Amino acid sequence: MIGSALALRLAGAGAAVALVVAGYHFTPLIGPQARLDRAADKIAVRDQALLAARDALRNAAAEIRARDDIINAAADHERDDAAQISAFWKGQCRGAFDAGYASGSAAGAGGDPGELRDLRDLQAAGAFKAP
């Protein structure tokens, strides 16, 4: 009798443990499925945050490329303007130098070196070319 009572107690304890284990696995709040569901929810939230960050980075990269294109276009325009302005002022300086040289005594125009000459007459005589 003692053996059967012990066996009965062990069977009851085993059944209780089996119920606890089964309850753990099938309880929606603490079981492994519940933990998997919570982990899946966290992963989904992180995935959404990563996708939003990816989209923000792509938008920022597109805006940077657009800004760089605008800067490059402005730089090209300024480069062209600088070349034209340089050529203009080069012509102006050359004309001023030629006019000054022609009005001086070294041009062979005669007269007093302190005398102010009429540059139109010197230009008509071919002493220098107008810019």
62-71 pLDDT, tens digit per residue, is 999 999 999 9
Q: How far apart, in whole angstroms, are the C-alpha atoms of residue 50 and residue 102?
A: 77
- Residue 85, domain extent: 31-124
Does residue 131 belong to any structural domain of this protein? Answer: no
Which residues, at least 6 apart from 78, have a Cβ–Cβ distance to it below 8 Å? none
| Number of domains within the chain | 1
Q: Among all chains, which residue has been given the structure tokens 């012509």?
A: 91
Residues in the chain: 131
Mean pLDDT of the chain: 80
Does residue 24 belong to any structural domain of this protein? Answer: no
DSSP, res 115: S
- Using the predicted structure, report yes or no on whether residue 4 has a pLDDT greater than 90: no
Does residue 3 belong to any structural domain of this protein? Answer: no
Give the residue with greater pLDDT, 16 vs 28.
16
Does residue 17 belong to any structural domain of this protein? Answer: no
Does residue 20 belong to any structural domain of this protein? Answer: no
Does residue 2 belong to any structural domain of this protein? Answer: no
pLDDT on residue 107 = 46
90-129 pLDDT, tens digit per residue, is 988 888 888 777 766 454 555 555 566 677 777 777 776 6
Closest by CA to 93, choosing from 131, 67, 47, 66, is 131
Q: How far apart, in whole angstroms, are the C-alpha atoms of residue 107 and residue 128?
A: 10
